[in-house]
Homo-oligomer: A and B are copies of this chain.
Amino acid sequence: MDNLKEPQGEHCHTNDVHARKSHHSDKMKTNLISRLNRIEGQIRGIKGLIDKDTYCDDVLNQIAAAQSALNSVGRLLLEGHMKSCVVDRIQSGDHEVLDELLVTVNKLMK
């Protein structure tokens, strides 16, 4: 694939919003996907608990666990984003990335 030869983050500072891409390392991708697979399993597990009339407090604890796992994925992605695209776009003089980042951080802080 040609993409792999491109300098990291090249796509981040294009003006074409739809062409913007992220380039996670294979290791990072595998990490994120396996975390999301586990979360998918947790959600399926919660459906099973509700179906079997499991005591609510136990189900609520499983929901808190899935939330915490999803938060971790968000933090990992945020870190990757800041260390690649955000840096690239700031260095190319595009400071709008910070407004975008602040909106997203505020959503995650809710």
The chain A residues found within 8 Å of chain B, CB to CB, are 3, 12, 20-24, 29, 32-33, 36-37, 39-40, 43-44, 46-47, 50-51, 53-57, 59-61, 63-64, 66-68, 70-71, 73-75, 77-87, 90-91, 95, 98, 100-102, 104-110
| Chain B residues within an 8 Å CB radius of A107 | 60-61, 64
Assess whether B43 is in contact with A39, with CB atoms less than 8 Å apart. yes
Interface of A, secondary structure class, is helix
The one of B3, B81, B110 that contacts A68, using a Cβ cutoff of 8 Å: B110
Assess whether A77 is in contact with B91, with CB atoms less than 8 Å apart. no
| Chain B residues within an 8 Å CB radius of A81 | 56-57, 60
Assess whether B57 is in contact with A100, with CB atoms less than 8 Å apart. yes
Assess whether B43 is in contact with A29, with CB atoms less than 8 Å apart. no
